[in-house]
Amino acid sequence: MQQAKDGVTLADIMAAQAVLRGVADATPLVPSPYMAARCGQDFLLKLENMQPIGAFKLRGALNAVANLPKGTAGVTCCSTGNHGRGVAYAAAQRGIRAVVCMSSLVPQAKVDGIRALGAEVVICGTSQDQAQAESQRLVQAEGLVEISPFDDPFVIAGQGTIGLEMLEARPDLDTLLVPLSGGGLAAGVAVAAKAIKPGIEVIGVTMDRGAAMHLSIAAGHPVEVEEVPSLADSLGGGIGMHNRLSYPICRDLLDDTVLVTEEEIYHAMQVLFFEDRIVAEGACVVGLAATLAGKLPAPRGPVGTIITGRNLDMQMFHRIMAGDDIQLGDTLVKGRRYGT
In order of their start, the domains of the chain are 5-55+152-333 (3.40.50.1100), 57-146 (3.40.50.1100)
Residues 6+ apart with CB under 8 A from 30: 44, 45, 47, 276
Residue that wins the pLDDT comparison between 70 and 5 = 70
pLDDT tens for 78-93 read 998 899 999 999 999 9
What's the confidence (pLDDT) of residue 105? 85
Q: Is a pLDDT exceeding 90 seen at residue 276?
A: yes
In this predicted structure, the answer to whether residue 3 has a pLDDT above a threshold of 60 is no
Determine the Cα–Cα distance for residues 121 and 21; give it in Å rounded to an integer: 29
Mean pLDDT of 312-339: 96
Whether the CB-CB separation of 101 and 111 falls below 8 Å is answered with: no
Residue 340 reports pLDDT greater than 90: no
Read off φ and ψ for residue 266, nearest 5 degrees. Answer: -55, -50
186-213 tens-digit pLDDT: 999 999 999 999 999 999 999 999 999 9
Sequence-separated contacts (24+) of 269-273 with Cβ below 8 Å = 269/231, 269/317, 269/320, 269/321, 270/320, 270/321, 270/323, 270/338, 271/34, 271/35, 271/338, 272/307, 273/321
Nearest to 60 by CA among 308, 311, 313: 308
Q: What predicted TM-score, i.e. pTM, was given to this entire model?
A: 0.94
**Termini Cα distance of the chain:** 50
108 by Cβ neighbours in 10 Å (0-12 / 13-18 / 19+) ranks as exposed
C-alpha dist (Å) from residue 172 to 43, 197, 198, 254: 12, 9, 12, 19
**In whole numbers, what is the pLDDT of the chain averaged over residues?**
95
Q: What is the pLDDT of residue 298?
A: 95
DSSP letters spanning 191-218: HHHHHH-TT-EEEEEEESSS-HHHHHHH
CA-CA distance, 184 to 24, in Å (whole number)?
Answer: 17
pLDDT tens per residue, range 25-65: 999 999 999 999 999 999 999 999 999 999 999 999 999 99
Whole-number pLDDT of residue 211: 95
